[in-house]
Amino acid sequence: MTEILKTSLRDSKAARWTALAIISITMFAGYMLTDIMSPLKPMLESQFHWSSTEYGVFTSAYGWLNVFFLMLIFGGIILDKMGVRFTGLMSSGIMVLGAAIKYYAISTTFAPDAMIFGLKMQVAIASAGFAIFGVGVEIAGITVSKIIVKWFKGHEMALAMGMQMAVARLGTLLAMAAPVPIANYFNKSISAPIAFTLVLLVIGFIAFFVYTFMDKKLDASNASLNPAPEDPFKFSDIGLIMKNKGFWLIAFLCVLFYSSVFPFLKYAADLMVNKYNVPVDTAGLIPSLLPLGTLFLTPLFGSIYDKKGKGATIMIIGSFMLVLIHGIFSLPIFNHWLVAVALVILLGVALSLVPSAMWPSVAKIIPEKQLGTAYSLIFWIQNWGLMGVPLLIGIVLDKANPGVSDAKAAGESIVYDYTQPMMIFALFGILAVVVAYMLKREDRVKGYGLEKPNIENA
């Protein structure tokens, strides 16, 4: 009996992996809705007469509330003050609300001249729903990250984060491959795939509710080991985080890296149609290969980091791959669809490398009681990129291709030239390489242990 009391629930391999499986359901649904509109861009242009700039406004809405109203930072503070159970249920509920508003906007017919703040009413309401959803999914992301640290610190933390990301990327895969077939099955209804994902989000909310019971048991087992409570989070801890150079380097690497990947996915299906002559109905299949590779590679690279270390080096390699991939995407001479397949697969490798090392490294730089706020600040900085870059790409696409949006809305078969957007993505990759090198140098100075294994007995 005494031996049992000395064991935390997280020391049970079955318990910690079961907890991970439950919370991964929520992120799977969240990631699916995040990119569900990407393959539908050509249908939005033909059915609703959206321009690339309007699509860019919609995709940038993901970060409006998180960036300008600091909702993500408040979410991180709530996480550290209130705990993972309250914050997880709150964020899951917000995701459902935002998705419901988005579904209403896309499923409703509005008058052609109905406008809100200079935007078509449909675009404005869909953007508002996406903005609310963005708050929920981002806070859910930092909550899940803290949950993984809570259950896996000293164990297979990078592998666990890799597995969770792999399940989430499966949601991205389905978001690339499934929307157009679902829409076509329901008589080309753009709202049908959104309704399908809304149901999944409700299931994810229920799954997180189930997880709260496991979390209570974990807290009880930890209390039996250490009756003295840890120092509570204080607002002064924010200042300590902000003074940490390693934190800033991780944050800048995060925003640069993800700005080269997720905004690209928003336009990837359209790129396949316009540059590689892939039919609209199947254009999402090639981008869907990106998250398919991460299903296996992110856990693999996470396991390598757990056992062998070399986290900073892994981040450098993944960032350099972005430069190569987007550089080739920008070259007009490579326009065969097989080239696109190869590049998307390589991009999936890069997307597996960097996050598998980056997110576990935060827990080596920042104390656990400050992790929620630290993750939220990193996600907040990341959201500047997730908000601004899709809008930038949409504007650049229209400016570099004058009249194409109107021609597409009129049913003409005119294509976009994607050279300039791809060059922008390559530039972000170059900057990511520079920051990753700086992080490796800072690790040598401060001794964070980014190049060391995560498993304590490794």
SS (H, E, C) 111-171: CCCCEECCEEHHHHHHHHHHHHHHHHHHHHHHHHHHHHHHHHCCCCHHHHHHHHHHHHHHH
- Whose structure tokens read 């597995």? 163
Res 416 pLDDT > 80: yes
Q: Which of 187-196, 224-233, 265-274, 298-307 has the lowest mean pLDDT?
A: 224-233
pLDDT at 409: 65
Domains of the chain: 2-224+233-446 (1.20.1250.20)
Q: Which of 125-134, 201-210, 369-378, 427-436 has the lowest mean pLDDT?
A: 369-378
- Going from the C-alpha of 185 to that of each of 66, 182, 196, 268, the distances in angstroms are 35, 5, 13, 23
pLDDT at 6: 55
pLDDT at 10: 82
Compute the distance between CA of residue 327 and CA of residue 401 in angstroms, rounded to an integer. 20
pLDDT at 232: 66
pLDDT at 373: 86
pLDDT at 456: 63
Whole-model pTM: value is 0.79
- Residue 7 DSSP symbol: S
pLDDT bin (cut points 50, 70, 90) of residue 1 is very low
Q: Which of 75-84, 217-226, 435-444 has the lowest mean pLDDT?
A: 217-226
Compute the distance between CA of residue 173 and CA of residue 185 in angstroms, rounded to an integer. 19
Mean pLDDT along residues 183-193:
93
Side chain identity, residue 452: K
- Going from the C-alpha of 404 to that of each of 46, 52, 118, 398, the distances in angstroms are 12, 9, 21, 7
- Going from the C-alpha of 65 to that of each of 76, 126, 130, 345, 383, the distances in angstroms are 14, 14, 10, 33, 10
At what angle are helices 311-329 and 419-446 packed, to 10 degrees? 170
pLDDT at 228: 54
CA atoms within 13 A on the CB side of 158: 33
Compute the distance between CA of residue 57 and CA of residue 229 in angstroms, rounded to an integer. 46
At what angle are helices 71-82 and 121-152 packed, to 10 degrees? 30
Burial class (CB in 10 A: 0-12, 13-18, 19+), 226: exposed
pLDDT at 4: 41
pLDDT at 457: 53
Closest CA to 33 of 56, 65, 62, 13: 62
